Amino acid sequence: MRSAPTILHLDMDAFFASVEQASKPSLRGKAVVVGGLGPRGVVATASYEARIFGVHSAMPMAQARRRAPNAAYLVPRFALYRSISEQVMGLLKALSPLVEPLSLDEAFVDLEAGGAAWDERSARLAGAKLRADIRAVTGLTGSVGLAASKMLAKIASEQAKPDGLVLIEPGTERALLGPLPVRTLPGVGPATGDHLRRAGIHTVDELAEAGEDELVRLLGKAHGHALFAMALARDERPVVAEREAKSVSVEDTYDVDIHDRLRVGTEVRRLADRCVRRLRAAGLSGRTIVLKVRRYDFSTLTRSETLRGPTDDPAVVREAAARLLDSVDTTGGVRLLGVGVSGLADYTQEDLFAQAGGHVDDLPHEEAEAAPAPEPETPAERRWPAGHDVRHAVHGPGWVQGSGLGRVTVRFETPDSEPGRVKTFRVDDPALQPAEPLPLVSRRPREAEGTGADGGVRAEGG
C-alpha cells in the first residue's frame, strides 16, 4: 500500500435522480424515483429526498410507491446519463491515464500516475478541483474519497456523501476501519455477513481478531485470506485502466409473461437487430452469438453459438439467435429475453453472409423496431414515458409528467428556467413530438469562485 492518499474514488450523488432534478426545475428538492414503472419494475436510483421514506435502489417499484406515494416516478433516460458520464470520465482522464470506471457514475483514479498528486495536500487540492469542475461542466455533484488504497478510497467516498470530500490520512486506516461493520468491506455481501455474524463477528476489529486461520476455516482459503488482509487495511490492488468491451448485448424485461412462441421469436429477432445496431455504432463485429431467456419461474438459461468468423450482419445474428431459441422450452412463459455478441473484433468475415440464406439483409429502420409484428396498439404510457423530453409547436420544450386514457400531461420547463406550467393534450396531438434532452449547463460557466486552498471541501457530506 502506498504512503500517500493518491488513489481517488469518485461517486456521483444519486446520479440518475440528480440528472432528472437538474433538468426539471419543478423537481428540485423533491422526492424523485427513477426506474421501471411497470408491474415488475425496480428502482434504479432514488433522490436523497426519496431515501428519507426508505426508498432505495433495487427495491420493487410497487414497494417504493407505497413508501413514497407523492414522489415523482420517471422512466430512465440512459442516453442522457451516458452523455453526462462521458463528460465526467473526460475530467477524470485529464487527471490521470489510469482511470478505472466501475459504472456510469463511479470510478477510481490513480492521481500519482498522472502527476496530479504526490502527497496529502496535493491530493486534497486535486479532489477539490475535480468536484468544482464536475459541478461547472455538468451542474451535478459528486463525492470524493482519497486514500492510499482502492478499498479505503471507496469507503471514504461513501462517508463523504452527499457532495463532500473525505481524505483518509496514512497511518489512521486501522483506527478508522476497526469499529465499522464487516459489511463495509468489499466482498462481504448478505450471505457472508450472516455467516460471520453467526460466528460472533460483527465489526472489522472482530474480523482481524478472529485471525487468518479462523477466517479460512469459516470462508474458505481465497475469501478468508482476502478478508483478513482487508481487515488489516491491506489492499494492493492497482487502478486498472478501462478495458475494451468483451461483449455487446441488449435485453428486455416484459411486464406480462410472453407465452406465444411466435411472439417470442419476433422479440428475439428485434433484439438481434438492436444488438447489431450497437455493434456497428462501435465499429465492431463478433463471432459468438448468445441468447438469454428468463422464464416464468425466474430460471435463467443462456445458449451460445460460435461462428466461423466475426460478423456484424443482422441476418446472420438473427438466424443464429433463432437456432438457439429452438433449443429452449418457453411453454411456461418468458419474462426476459436478451441477445448478445461476444468474441469481438474490428472486422467482419464476408463469407458468413452465406449463412443468411444468400441474402445480405440490412438493419430495419428504428421505426420498424418499435412495431416488429402486428400487435396491440402501444399503450400511451409507452409512447410517452414519464420524464422523457418533448417539444410542442406552440409551447416549446417540456417533459412528460404522465399519460393514460388517451391523454398526456406535459410540464413546460427547461434546465435554466423557473418551474413551468402544466398542460394536457391528446396522445396523438400532431403538435407534440418527442425531443432530445436539453443540456444541463446551457452556457459556458464562469470560473468557480471562492474555492480557495481547500476548494470548499467539507470533511463529511451533509
Closest CA to 5 of 231, 176, 219: 176
Q: How far apart are CA 83 and CA 51, in angstroms?
A: 26
Judge contact between 409 and 423, C-beta under 8 A.
yes
pLDDT at 348: 53
pLDDT at 186: 82
Residue 236, C-alpha cell as written in the block: 494492493
**Residue 212 annotated among the catalytic residues of the structure:** no
Global pTM value: 0.71
The helix (run of H) or strand (run of E) holding residue 90 is: helix 78-95
- As a whole-number percent, the residues of the chain with pLDDT over 70 amount to 87
Closest CA to 429 of 387, 460, 398: 398
* Residue 121 DSSP SS3: helix
Judge contact between 19 and 37, C-beta under 8 A.
no
Residue 256, C-alpha cell as written in the block: 406480462
∠ Cα 27 32 33 (to 5°): 155
Q: Which amino acid is at 394?
A: V
Q: pLDDT, tens digit, for every residue of 383-430?
A: 799 999 999 999 999 999 998 889 999 999 999 999 999 999 999 999
Q: How far apart are CA 182 and CA 226, in angstroms?
A: 13
Judge contact between 89 and 107, C-beta under 8 A.
yes
Q: pLDDT, tens digit, for every residue of 334-387?
A: 989 999 999 887 655 444 444 444 444 444 443 333 333 334 444 433 479 999
Q: pLDDT, tens digit, for every residue of 304-342?
A: 998 887 888 899 999 999 999 998 988 888 989 999 999
Out of 20, 49, 100, 106, the active site residue is: 106
* Distance set, CA 26 to CA 314, 341, 372, 401, 417 (Å): 43, 42, 37, 11, 10
